[in-house]
């Protein structure tokens, strides 16, 4: 988990006001406790907080590359799952690499593909790239909006960032509530209309969208959309495709230069991930996969069997970690802890979310972080991503 922020202003020399970008970057420190970095220029300032996962030494950001007298500078939060394939294409087209980070691959992919770069990416991402010659900013959001990304245009400033709280470190941005945004927050939260935030003037960049911003225009464009198609495969073909997609998806997310683990709740999602990941770990590294589960004080005493749930989660968790021979650890939480962590969990989201569900994630990952820096879960949501980075300092902050 990393964090990005940036400012573009064509009317002022913002290089002389570097304290603003530094304050914005500091506001998202918990997204990346390992390093901070800055790019300062006359009309564009960029900030980055890093949680070092891949290519610790050569993946530092902001990262700049100069080709044909044009300097391209990137700040990036995310992970590409097709780094290897992209790198091979780039090498075939004359590009050279200093390291093996996906940041370098992403930056050079943009140089090669231009604004069509997102059509070639398989991953989760929020990134911005500054072209020094054109004085143009390219900002992009992943296909499903997994990585948070917001922007604002105010008083000749184009401002972007991973978290809303960073915006309030800019003197031009005031925390004023938006009527529709706040109504959605209380009416359908944590869901919301894509693009909307609870604050006036701060918008979310919608999933599968990019922005091109320069002296002459602001252009937002959708690069992909989910389509429905008739399913015509027979049962055997369907099973083979699902099996391939699961294996491919899970194994692509197991790339890391630091300790990695999986969550194991005993449910279908986490059990499937554990099954594939544990086999991969043994075959590739000759190691057992680490798995973690969460439980609550006296949960076993208060459990009531039903047709819907005939056994506790622990019953299925035990089946899975024994079957796949993982190094398993159970984290026990108590109700008073969940209550005390409610405010920190809310701050970690920037907005109210799912109450004790969020605080349990926060406390759970605080313990998991002692053993591993990266985790895979079956949540298929932003919650685990948010909670994971917030525990780098042991306290919540989105």
Q: Kindly list the catalytic residues.
A: 2
DSSP 74-120: EEEEEEES-HHHHHHHHHHTT---SS--HHHHHHHHHHHHGGGGGGG
Instruction: Give kind and range of the element (H or E) at residue 294.
Output: strand 290-296
| Beta-carbon-side half-sphere exposure of residue 380 (alpha carbons within 13 Å) | 7
Instruction: Kindly state the DSSP code that residue 199 receives in the 8-state scheme.
Output: B
Length of the chain: 398
Q: For 74-111, b where at least 16 C-beta lie within 10 A, e where not — what string?
A: bbbbbbbbbbeebbeebeeeebeeeebbbbbbbbbbbb
Q: For 150-184, b where at least 16 C-beta lie within 10 A, e where not — what string?
A: bbbeeeebbbbbbbbbbbbbbeebeeeebeebeeb
C-alpha span between 274 and 258 (Å, rounded): 18
């Amino acid at each position: 988990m990393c964090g990005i922020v940036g400012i573009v202003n064509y009317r002022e020399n913002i290089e002389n006001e570097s304290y603003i970008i530094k304050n914005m970057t500091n506001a998202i420190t918990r997204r990346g406790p390992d390093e901070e970095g800055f790019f300062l220029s006359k009309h564009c300032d960029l900030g980055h907080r890093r949680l070092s996962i891949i290519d610790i030494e050569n993946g530092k950001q902001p990262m700049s590359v100069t080709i044909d007298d044009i300097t391209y500078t990137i700040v990036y939060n995310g992970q590409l799952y097709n780094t290897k394939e992209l790198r091979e294409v780039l090498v075939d087209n004359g590009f050279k690499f200093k390291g093996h980070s996906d940041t370098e691959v992403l930056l050079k992919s943009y140089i090669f593909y231009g604004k069509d770069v997102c059509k070639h990416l398989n991953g989760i991402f929020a990134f911005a790239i500054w072209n020094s010659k054109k004085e143009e900013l390219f900002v992009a959001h992943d296909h499903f909006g997994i990585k948070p990304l917001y922007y604002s245009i105010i008083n000749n400033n184009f401002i972007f960032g991973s978290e809303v709280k960073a915006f309030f470190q800019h003197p031009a941005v005031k925390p004023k509530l938006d009527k529709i945004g706040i109504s959605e927050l209380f009416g359908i939260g944590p869901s919301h209309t894509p693009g909307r935030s609870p604050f006036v003037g701060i918008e979310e960049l919608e999933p599968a969208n990019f922005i091109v911003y320069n002296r002459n225009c602001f252009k937002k464009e959708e690069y992909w959309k989910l389509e429905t198609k008739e399913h015509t495969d027979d049962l055997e073909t369907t099973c083979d495709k699902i099996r391939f997609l699961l294996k491919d998806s899970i194994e692509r997310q197991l790339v890391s230069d630091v300790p990695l683990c999986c969550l194991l709740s005993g449910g279908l999602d986490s059990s499937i991930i554990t099954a594939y990941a544990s086999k991969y770990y043994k075959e590739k590294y000759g190691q057992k996969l680490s798995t973690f589960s969460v439980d609550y004080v006296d949960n076993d005493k208060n459990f009531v069997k039903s047709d819907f749930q005939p056994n506790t989660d622990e019953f299925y968790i035990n089946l899975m970690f024994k079957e796949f021979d993982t190094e398993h650890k159970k984290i026990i939480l108590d109700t008073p802890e969940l209550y005390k962590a409610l405010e920190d969990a809310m701050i970690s989201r920037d907005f109210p979310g799912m109450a004790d569900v969020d605080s349990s994630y926060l406390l759970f990952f605080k313990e998991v972080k002692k053993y591993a820096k990266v985790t895979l879960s079956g949540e298929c949501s932003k919650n685990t991503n948010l909670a994971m980075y917030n525990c780098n300092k042991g306290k919540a902050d989105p």
